[in-house]
Chains A and B, each alone.
Chain A
Amino acid sequence: MAVAFGIDVIIDNFGKSRKTMKKLCRICMLCMVFFQPFFATAQEDTLRFLPHWLPQAQFAGFYMACEKGIYENYDLIVDILKSGPKYPPAEMLASGEAEIISNFLTDGIIAFDEGIPLVCIGQISQRSAIMFISKKERRISHIGDFEGKTIGIWRSGFRELPLALLRQEGIDAKIVPITGTVNLFLMDGVDIMCVMWYNEYHQVLNSGIDAGDLDAFFLADHHLDYPEDGLYCLKEYYDQNPLQCRKFLQASLEGWAYAFDHKDEALEVVIEIMRASNVPANIAHQKWMLDRMEDLFMSDSLESNRGRLKPEDFHNVNALLHESGAIREKVPLEEFYYGPE
């Protein structure tokens, strides 16, 4: 049968069958003879993607692109890795445990400065979601009132921008490093809390504090409206697979568009993934997050800006990080950014 099949194919389409045969042989060799222990991690065509935080609607677009076969449509085999605080994205990228990661623009630039040879291949979020909140009873009605107050800010990551705001406004406040929850704020352990609009802010609301009982200060309202989530890979990977990188960005953007158009379906998928990862999940919170993601991603109405890191945004963030001492040297855009122009 095999012979007959082979003859038929050779007769019908000589050139194509030769290529198929060659590929088949190579896979067989890989599987059966060499590097058997590396089979799972080093499968040549699989693209491992690591979101930069625990699974949630913040990454709904990637899940949907995977779920709805959008990556496959782009001839990509994508494996979305288990994510969370235990899996620091830049390190995972550097160690070769992931091909592509998502990350904050500030964190990406800092990682680049720290010597990790990564490049940005696309910018998903176009707006800042960072905000300060305080309980109304604390009578903090504008930024000036922050003076002398205790402010909870994340211990690592994302903290550069809120700190930059305090610096910009000349505020001298006591910064309390926070690991991940808003509990200290809820129990009045700090006066002010730095939160993500799409995440912790809603957690506060859903701990029984009404929006009307909170004062909120968006960084975006104080000249610090900078993009956040972007896609990164190692320079080396990009050099070898530029097409893959562009395809991944395109497919992911398509996945996001699908998620925004089919929110109920997307939420179902997100919740399922969260439950599988033992991450507490509820529809209300994920829906809020997905809605805010849409606000953040679609804030730039220009279709051509989708997935693009705008040079002026980059330069501002770059300057800001340099000023704060988070990076030693300003990072050159052309070495850092390989996404759509």
Chain B
Amino acid sequence: MQPGKKLAFKLVLSVSFVTATIFLVMLAYNYRISRKLLDENIRENVSHITRYAVNRIEGVLISAMTIPENLAVLVGDFNYTEAEIRQFLKKVVQHNDEITGSCLAFEPYAFDPDEKYFAPYYYKAGDSVRYENLGTGEYNYFFWDWYQIPARLNTPVWSEPYFDEGGANVVMTTYSVPFYKDGDLAGIATVDVSLEWLKAYISRIKILETGYAFVISRNGRIISHPADSLIMNESIFSLAEENNDPEIRKAGKAMIRGESDYIPFPSLILDEKAYLYYRPLPATGWSLAVVLSEEALLADLHRLNRDLLIIGIAGIFLLVLSVVVISNRITHPLRKLASATVRIGRGNFDVELPVNRSDDEIGQLNASICRMQQELKTYVENLRTATAAREKIESELKIARDIQQGIIPKIFPPFPDRKDLDVYAVLEPARDVGGDLYDFFFIDDRHLCFAIGDVSGKGIPASLMMAITRTLLRARVTRLERPETIVALMNRELCRDNDKAMFVTMFLGIIDLDSGTISYCNAGHNYPCLVRKGKALEKLDQTHGTPLGSFEKMSYGSGSVRFCAGDLLVLYTDGVTEAMDINDALYGEERLVRFLKSKSFEGPEEVTLSLVEDVREFSGLAEQSDDITILAIQHQ
């Protein structure tokens, strides 16, 4: 995957993930809240609908109830003849639409002491009203529910609904009211009510698309239901048994107890999750229930959710698309810039950069890379010029160093003819041109003049100063003179026009080989070491004045020391004592002294080279910062 694509991919991934998460959380929250509101709403709605339905149903039943109640009062209070009662009953049946029949059934011998049975019954048959005497021994009405139950319980009772004897699947119920004469039960007044209207009314109750209502009797029997086949056949308990669902039975028990509630319920018609709301019909002890399918209940919500989901997915898709476009717009120039900068990095400064004049960050980046390209180009050109210049200077410096090295004696042994003297010297220059110098030459046959010096500072100025000093030395010492005279002369020369206060430390000595003495003048230089033949070590620790060039009016003194056969004089510059190891520790004079005392040396060459070796060993990996110069002279 290209780097640019990777960025786009990451952007798309994170943007879509975050937005999808937010969206889903919102969707879930919306669903929860809407569902809760919907639930409350539906519950309230259903409560209203059922309350209304209960009032309607009870209204019809209660108006039917007043008929036998009035009959009971009338028959209980007055004594009517059979003809009067029959006429009376006939009118009741004729003039009350809500009832299909009515009966006045008397207790044995209660109407006529000679007659055990008396139960005139009028009922509607088509358009006419017919009479039947139920008071026959065969029928024996005393033991039928409609008579026996109110008689035994001494209370008006709505009978369990039953199929009409005439067949045709008409569900009937009978309301029976006991009546009394002189405090004793005298009989039962009844009306028959067809429940066809209830069936029609109940089947008209529709809540949402699939919700329906049903009514169960006091025993749980289904007496009204949109599914005809359940009416009278099933009870809520038989349905519970057939569906093997104890929850239905539980609900049924609560319903026949006259309770009211809203509970989850397996729909008995619709094979899906549903809710049941039930409410009692107090006059009859029946219960009205409403079943709501959850799907229909939540249909709007699901539709809303589905729409939201589609909008959300479309939105995320658009978002992803725009992220792809934007990231491409970002990464396309970035990719171009990247490949251009790779080429610039390889040194191709003439690469054509993409043109981007937009003022966003990419445009700014583009512009600054353009600037960088230009600046790099200039810089590299400058660098080339500078490098060329420096290379020139360096080569000139190298020449200068070669010249510098050339003006000090380099051939050893320098005096192969002389057996009484051996000299050896080393000047190890540091990376920069330094200002160390040494020199030795015979003034005449018996006097050797030698000097070692160190110019303050480094570089070209130091090396020029060194060259001047060497030249001055050779020029001044043409005949035997006192060392302090030579030094003072040189000092005066070097002080002239020396604004920068450049100075040269110098130890200048003259050896008298015949008498075996060294007379010397030390102008601020490190004290040389004199290793006596018997290994004793002396330091020529006198300073006779400040370095050359430092102080014009300086007057110099001198010293003198014996220099016998076998004595070895070792002179050095601070490049030796101030050589540093990687921890910035100094080589030091103590180590130098210890080294010189450690063994006996064959001659100047050995002491010089082994001392250089020891300094190198000490320095280790640390870079040499100053010239290391050693001059060793032995009298033999």
* Chain A interfacial positions (CB closer than 8 Å to B): 155, 176-179, 181, 183-184, 186-190, 205-208, 275, 278, 280-285, 288
Check if B233 is an interface residue, CB within 8 A of chain A: yes
Taking the closest CB of chain A, its distance from the CB of B238, in whole angstroms, is 4
14 A-B pairs within 8 Å (CB atoms) are namely A155-B140, A176-B152, A181-B145, A181-B160, A183-B160, A183-B219, A184-B152, A187-B153, A206-B237, A280-B221, A282-B233, A282-B238, A282-B242, A283-B238
State A138–B145 Cα separation when bound (angstroms).
22
Query: Cβ of B253 < 8 Å from any Cβ of A?
Result: yes
Interface residues of B in 367-420 (CB under 8 A from A): none
| Contact partners of A176 in chain B: CB under 8 A | 148, 152
In the complex the two chains form, is A207's CB within 8 Å of B152's CB?
Answer: no
User: What is the CA–CA distance of A189 and B249 in the complex, to the nearest angstrom?
Assistant: 24
Whether B144 is near chain A, meaning CB under 8 Å from some CB there, is yes
Complex Cα gap A275–B140 (Å): 27
Nearest residue, chain A, Cβ from B220 = A208
The reply to whether B238 and A285 form a contact with Cβ atoms under 8 Å apart is yes
- The residues in B between 188 and 242 inclusive whose CB is less than 8 angstroms from any CB of A are 218-221, 232-239, 241-242
> Which residues on the A side are within 8 Å of B232 (C-beta)?
280
Beta-carbon nearest neighbor of B152 in chain A: A189
CB nearest neighbor in A for B235: A206
Question: In the complex, which residues of chain B have a beta carbon less than 8 angstroms from the beta carbon of A206?
Answer: 220, 235, 237-238, 241
Cross-chain contact A187 with B242 (CB below 8 angstroms): no
Report A-chain residues with C-beta under 8 Å of the C-beta of B547: none
Closest A-chain residue to B168, C-beta based?
A278
Closest to A154 in B: B143
Q: Which residues of A contact B152 (CB under 8 A)?
A: 176, 184, 189-190
Which residues of the partner chain B approach A190 to less than 8 Å between Cβ atoms? 152
Query: Which residues of B sit under 8 angstroms from A208, Cβ to Cβ?
Result: 219-220, 236-237, 249, 252-253, 256
- Docked complex Cα distance between A208 and B160 (Å): 14
Complex CA–CA separation, A288 to B237 (angstroms): 13
Render B149-179 as a binary contact track against A, CB cut-off 8 A, 1 for contact.
1001100010110010001010000000000
Alpha-carbon distance A183/B249, docked complex (angstroms): 19
Interface 0/1 of B244-268, CB less than 8 Å to A: 0000010011001000000000000
B142's nearest neighbour on chain A, judged by CB, is A177
The residues of B that contact A181 with a CB separation of less than 8 Å are 145, 160
**CB-based contact B143/A207 at 8 Å:** no
Q: Which residues of A contact B238 (CB under 8 A)?
A: 206, 282-285
Task: Name the distance in Å between A7's Cβ and chain B's nearest Cβ.
Answer: 55
Between B157, B236, B237, B256, the greatest number of chain A beta carbons within 10 A of the residue's beta carbon is seen for: B237
Closest 7 A/B residue pairs (Cβ): A284-B238, A207-B219, A284-B241, A206-B237, A282-B238, A189-B152, A280-B232
Q: How far is the CA of A131 from the CA of B159 in the complex (A)?
A: 25
Q: Contact residues of B with A, CB < 8 Å?
A: 140, 143-145, 148-149, 152-153, 157, 159-160, 163, 167, 169, 218-221, 232-239, 241-242, 249, 252-253, 256
Cβ B167 vs Cβ A207 within 8 A = no
Distance in angstroms between the alpha carbons of A155 and B137 in the assembled complex? 13
Asked if residues B253 and A155 are in contact (CB atoms below 8 Å), the reply is: no
Cβ of B237: which chain A residues have Cβ within 8 Å of it? 205-208, 284
B242 touches A283 (CB 8 A): yes
Most B CB contacts (10 A, CB to CB) among A187, A275, A288 go to A187
- Taking A184-B145, A284-B242 as given, write out 7 further A-B residue pairs in contact, using a Cβ cutoff of 8 Å, ordered by the A residue number: A177-B143, A179-B143, A179-B145, A181-B145, A183-B149, A184-B148, A284-B239
**B270 CB to nearest A CB, Å:** 19
Alpha-carbon separation in the docked complex, A200 to B501 (Å): 138
- Interchain CA distance A6-B157 in the complex, whole Å: 74
Which of chain B's residues has its CB closest to A155's CB? Answer: B143
Q: Return A254 CB to nearest CB of chain B, in Å.
A: 29
A186 to B220, CA, bound (A): 12
- Chain B residues positioned under 8 Å from A275 (CB to CB): 233
Residues in A with CB closer than 8 Å to B220 are 206-208
In the assembled complex, which residues on chain A have CB atoms less than 8 Å from the CB atom of B234?
282, 284
Nearest CB in chain A to that of B159: its residue:
A183
What's the nearest-Cβ distance from chain B to residue A54, in Å? 12
Give every chain B residue within 8 A of A186 (Cβ-Cβ).
Answer: 218-219
Q: In the assembly, what is the distance between CA of A155 and CA of B143, in Å? A: 8
Chain A residues contacting B233 (CB-CB under 8 Å) are 275, 280-282
Q: Which residues of A contact B159 (CB under 8 A)?
A: 183
A207, B235: Cβ atoms under 8 Å?
yes
Which of these, A189, A205, A280, A283, contacts B153 with CB under 8 Å?
A189
In the complex the two chains form, is A282's CB within 8 Å of B235's CB?
Answer: yes
A40 to B360, CA, bound (A): 107
Cα of A184 to Cα of B150 in the assembled complex, Å? 9
In the bound complex, CA of A188 to CA of B153 (Å):
8
- Distance between Cα atoms of A268 and B220 in the complex (Å): 23
CA distance A275 to B232 in the complex (A): 11
On whether the beta carbons of B235 and A179 are closer than 8 Å, the reply is no
CA distance in complex: A128, B45 (Å):
53
Please name all residues of chain B whose beta carbon is closer than 8 Å to the beta carbon of A178 when the two chains form the complex. 143, 148
A244 and B623 CA atoms in complex are apart in Å by 137
Interface centre among A177, A186, A188, A207 (most CB of B within 10 A): A207
Contact A187 B157 (CB under 8 A): yes
Kindly report which residue of chain A lies nearest to residue B148, judged by CB atoms: A184
Which single residue of chain A is at the shortest CB-CB distance from B234?
A282
A206 — nearest CB in chain B belongs to which residue?
A: B237
Contact present for B169 and A278 (CB under 8 Å)? yes
Closest chain A residue to B242, Cβ basis: A284
A190 CA / B252 CA spacing, docked (Å): 24
Distance between Cα atoms of A278 and B239 in the complex (Å): 19
Chain B residue with Cβ nearest A274: B233
In the complex, A183 Cα to B144 Cα: how many Å? 10
Please report the C-alpha to C-alpha distance between residue A176 and residue B219 in the assembled complex, in whole angstroms: 21
A275 to B249, CA, bound (A): 24
Residues of B contacting A280 with CB < 8 Å? 163, 221, 232-233
Complex: A187 Cα to B159 Cα, angstroms: 11
Return chain A residues, CB-CB under 8 Å to B253: 208
Question: Please, how many angstroms separate the alpha-carbon atoms of A205 and B246 in the complex?
Answer: 13
Measured between alpha carbons, how far is A177 from B152 in the docked complex, in Å? 12
Contact of B149 among A189, A281, A284, A285 (CB under 8 A): A189
Bound CA–CA A187/B157 (angstroms): 10
Q: Which of A176, A177, A190, A282 neighbours the largest number of chain B CB atoms within 10 Å of its CB?
A: A282
Least CB distance from B232 to A in Å reads 5
Q: How far is the CA of A183 from the CA of B167 in the complex (A)?
A: 22
Chain A neighbourhood of B143, CB < 8 A: 155, 177-179
